[in-house]
Chains A and B, each alone.
Chain A
């Protein structure tokens, strides 16, 4: 009983801080929120029933003089009931879960914007494909102090690519597809506001897409916090400064995004040598 009151109190106190009241900042995240609520409802009911029964039985059937335990070794009907009922509820959850899972991990829509995200100890870098909409090839063996992503400038597609540190700009309402790389250890692009997450693995590119549905500016108004920013948190232990591996996402309107993109310089200018030499 005390436990339940405690749980309810706790809920009052912290619900406000869980990001739920803010709503999800992505279209896909809203579905995850919905599923989360359904799961919480189902498990919540089970939780209350079983815990109440557990403590009630413990209280009611304490040892008393003259009380005799009831010999009740098994009952097939009862056992079948509580095998099938959970199985049915779980099937419902699995069906919902997998429907969203396939949608979210499926191919990104054709019109999505591609951004390459690269993690290394302990920062995030981003690369936009530029006007040709194709990312230039990379080869980690070409990495130098200046060309720190190891872009292969022999590939013409790389010449108009745009390379940005720490802060990623994306437009609202358009699917964004991230191609995720890591240069050293496993990192993880954690997007708590968008309800998304994907590991960055050295040697195996991964991918994740989502559709932001609210701009940073609107979110500042909604939360009443002028300092608000969407953050990228590294969610996979990656070394001593893991806790400080922070990236920022600025969601803006399409016009703002296009304007911002036009102001950025392409990678060729950033890199003085086009063919760095490297030996194995």
Chain B
């Protein structure tokens, strides 16, 4: 056993990289990704109301993808997960897959509530689908008074 092990469960001393260049490189990557995100955000802001729905949605999805990329860099390099051995990476990453169904099911049901509310349990036509400005039902009521 080498003398610089931090704990008895560790059987091999990890070698630490000596330079800080990788850290700074990651910093610049994160900054660049953030700037691109901001750019897309401003794009949505300036073109607000003029873009087709599909383009708005895909821009938002692109921003979400960039966020995931940022998360990857933070976890993999700043938190050194990428340097850990494969066993550990898998036990961290695999349980996070639960989030896929967690998110999908919740949002799916949220959208179902919107339909139930807009159609009053399916008993009247959904007006928001035909109106140009989508409005919150509560606001709709207030506005009429």
Contacts and interface: CB of A to CB of B under 8 A. Distances in A.
On whether A and B touch (CB less than 8 Å), the answer reads yes
B141 A179 contact: no
Contacts of A154: 144
Contact of A207 (B117, B121, B144): B121
Interface in A181-232: 181, 203-207
A205 B120 contact: yes
B25 interface: no
A179 B121 CA distance: 6
A114 B123 contact: yes
Contacts, number: 36
Contacts of A135: 120, 123-124
Interface string B61-100: 0000000000000000000000000000000000000000
Contacts of A234: none
A172 interface: no
B116 interface: yes
B27 interface: no
Interface in A69-115: 107-108, 114
B113 interface: yes
Contacts of A107: 122
Interface residues of A, number: 20
A46 interface: no
Contacts of B121: 179-181, 205-207
Max count, chain A CB within 10 A of own CB: residue among B123, B142, B144: B123
Contacts of A141: 141
A150 B84 CA distance: 62
A207 B141 contact: no
Interface in A134-162: 134-135, 139, 141, 152, 154
A149 to B, nearest CB: 13
Interface of B: 113, 116-117, 120-124, 141-142, 144
6 contacts: A108-B122, A135-B124, A141-B141, A154-B144, A177-B122, A207-B121
A139 B120 contact: no
Nearest to A108: B122
Max count, chain A CB within 10 A of own CB: residue among B113, B122, B124, B144: B122
A154 B122 CA distance: 22
Nearest to A208: B121
Given A139-B141, A141-B141, A207 B113 contact: no
Contacts of B124: 134-135
Contacts of A179: 120-123
A114 B120 CA distance: 12
Contact of A206 (B116, B141, B142): B116
B116 A204 contact: yes
Interface in A229-280: 280
B114 to A, nearest CB: 9
Contacts of B122: 107-108, 177, 179, 207
A107 B142 CA distance: 31
A152 B141 CA distance: 10
A179 B122 CA distance: 8
A134 B120 CA distance: 12
Given A177-B123, A206-B116, A207-B122, 18 more contacts: A107-B122, A134-B124, A135-B123, A135-B124, A139-B141, A152-B141, A154-B144, A177-B122, A180-B121, A203-B117, A204-B113, A204-B116, A204-B117, A205-B120, A205-B121, A205-B123, A207-B116, A207-B123
Contacts of A206: 116, 121
A265 B60 CA distance: 53
A219 to B, nearest CB: 28
A205 B117 contact: yes
A69 B118 CA distance: 67
Nearest to B120: A205
Contacts of B120: 135, 179, 205
The 10 closest A-B pairs by CB, nearest first: A205-B121, A207-B121, A179-B121, A179-B123, A139-B141, A204-B113, A205-B120, A207-B122, A205-B116, A204-B116
